[in-house]
Amino acid sequence: MGTSLSRRHVLAAIGAGGIALTTPAQGRADSSAGAVVFVYDDGPIEDYTQAFPAHQAFDAPASTGIVTEWIGRENFMGTDWMDLEHLRELEDAGWEILSHTTEHTALGTFALTADVEPSDRRIHVERNRHGYYRGKDLEITDGDHTVRRTVVDYGTDDVGQYIDLDEPLERAFAAEETVERYPADHMEEFLLESRRELESYGFDVDGILCPYDSCDDWTVEFVRQYYETNANANHGSPINDPGDYDPHETNRDYFIEFTTREAVKADLDEIAARDALGVIGAHTFKEEVTEDRIYETLQWVDDRGLEVLTLREAAERFGGTAASARSQPTGRLTGPVRGMPHRDRFPGPGRVWYRP
């Protein structure tokens, strides 16, 4: 890979002296106290073939979100997926392995878009992502009443996106007061089993990347119980202010897809000027996410004197005491998800993210 010393070896050699390790920026007069975390999605082989060489060129780590059921798959959704040896090589080079759940399930709540009658088995929802996984249970709740049913199908009709359930709801729900979500036992399964499986392979795992950028209060309540960091609690801006950074409430945005070079450079300027933490992501299997584009972005980061960290390192450096004080489950009931416009933008055009 070009570098004879892995970042881990360099760290071991230097010890915990707090020396800045972004070699090309060392001693740079305009060095910022800010930092950038690169978080890659899903674990395709392109993380290894495209992102890893670019990061190695800068001796810069990254964090990658792994779906445990997809490890080592071949020719699945148009590409191959990193196996355990790839992941071990990344971790040995200083990368961080994040959980991206067991099956790439959306962890947020979705609002109902039409009222339902007691005889209805069909619920209309703002996004039918919870319909992709037939056989899983959902809770339909207005805060006062909760009904649990099993998913049998999903689709789109004249009203909009829907999910079909195995039994009638036997209770009326008003759309504007009702959401559907995975029950607590499924949340634990998606979150905890993925972490345990990754740890069983020997990886250090204490962070999660939420699939589809689907994350709200319901999600965060569970994530706080099982993880130290959440890479994408809020989607739409990469900037996390120093002194006010809660690692469970990380802001992340994309740096190649869904954006422009100008917007990314402007964000990096702001991160450097404010000594802030930037968290940026990409799907390396996408055509436009090339090694050159990643290298170019790393160059912009280096030009601004920003250090590249893993999410874990960023939490240690930027996460203040306020973060741990807030790291307790609130127990509050999550209401409908109005007012969260940024959290549900993925997938982009051209990619279908479900298994038939």
From 19-27, 33-41, 125-133, 220-228, span contacting Zn ion (CB under 5 A): 33-41
Q: Which residue, 61 or 211, is less far from Zn ion as judged by CB?
A: 211
Residue selected from 7, 35, 39, 41 as contacting Zn ion according to rule CB under 5 A: 41
Query: Phi, psi at residue 272, to the nearest 5°?
Result: -65, -45
CA count, 13 A, side-chain hemisphere, 8: 10
User: How far, in Å, are 70, 71, 81, 102, 133 from residue 75 at the CA level?
Assistant: 11, 12, 8, 19, 21
Q: Which residue, 108 or 319, is less far from Zn ion as judged by CB?
A: 108
Give me the least distance between CB of 19 and Zn ion, in Å please.
34
Token couple for 27: 């001693």
Q: Which residue, 104 or 149, is less far from Zn ion as judged by CB?
A: 104
Give me the least distance between CB of 34 and Zn ion, in Å please.
26
Task: Write down the residue that tokens 């979705």 correspond to.
Answer: 110
Q: Which residues contact 35 (CB under 8 A, 6 or more apart)?
A: 277, 278, 306, 307, 308, 309, 314, 317, 318
Give me the least distance between CB of 144 and Zn ion, in Å please.
34
From 42-50, 200-208, 271-279, 313-321, span contacting Zn ion (CB under 5 A): 42-50
Asked if residue 20 lies in contact with residue 26, where contact means CB atoms within 8 angstroms, the answer is yes
Q: Which one-letter DSSP state was computed for residue 175?
A: G
Residue selected from 42, 126, 206, 257 as contacting Zn ion according to rule CB under 5 A: 42
Give me the least distance between CB of 314 and Zn ion, in Å please.
20
Give me the least distance between CB of 95 and Zn ion, in Å please.
17
What count of other Cβ atoms lies within 10 Å of the Cβ of residue 165?
Answer: 24
Query: Between residue 246 and residue 305, which ones bind Zn ion under the rule CB under 5 A?
Result: none
**Count of residues interacting with Zn ion (CB under 5 A):** 3
Distance CA 313, CA 231 (A): 12
Query: Between residue 190 and residue 219, which ones bind Zn ion under the rule CB under 5 A?
Result: 211
Q: Which residue, 94 or 281, is less far from Zn ion as judged by CB?
A: 281
Q: Which residue, 6 or 229, is less far from Zn ion as judged by CB?
A: 229
Give me the least distance between CB of 59 and Zn ion, in Å please.
27
Beta bridge pairs of residue 146: 141
Q: Which residue, 281 or 319, is less far from Zn ion as judged by CB?
A: 281
Give me the least distance between CB of 28 and Zn ion, in Å please.
35
Q: Which residue, 123 or 282, is less far from Zn ion as judged by CB?
A: 282
Specify burial of residue 220 (Cβ count, 10 A radius: 0-12, 13-18, 19+). buried
- In the chain the beta strands, taken as DSSP E runs, fall at 35-40, 63-66, 96-99, 110-111, 122-124, 137-141, 146-156, 161-165, 179-181, 207-208, 229-230, 234-235, 239-240, 251-254, 277-282, 307-309
x/- track of binding to Zn ion for residues 156-195 (CB under 5 A): ----------------------------------------
Give me the least distance between CB of 130 and Zn ion, in Å please.
15
Q: Which residue, 42 or 47, is less far from Zn ion as judged by CB?
A: 42
Distance CA 321, CA 233 (A): 19
Q: Which residues bind Zn ion (CB under 5 A)?
A: 41-42, 211
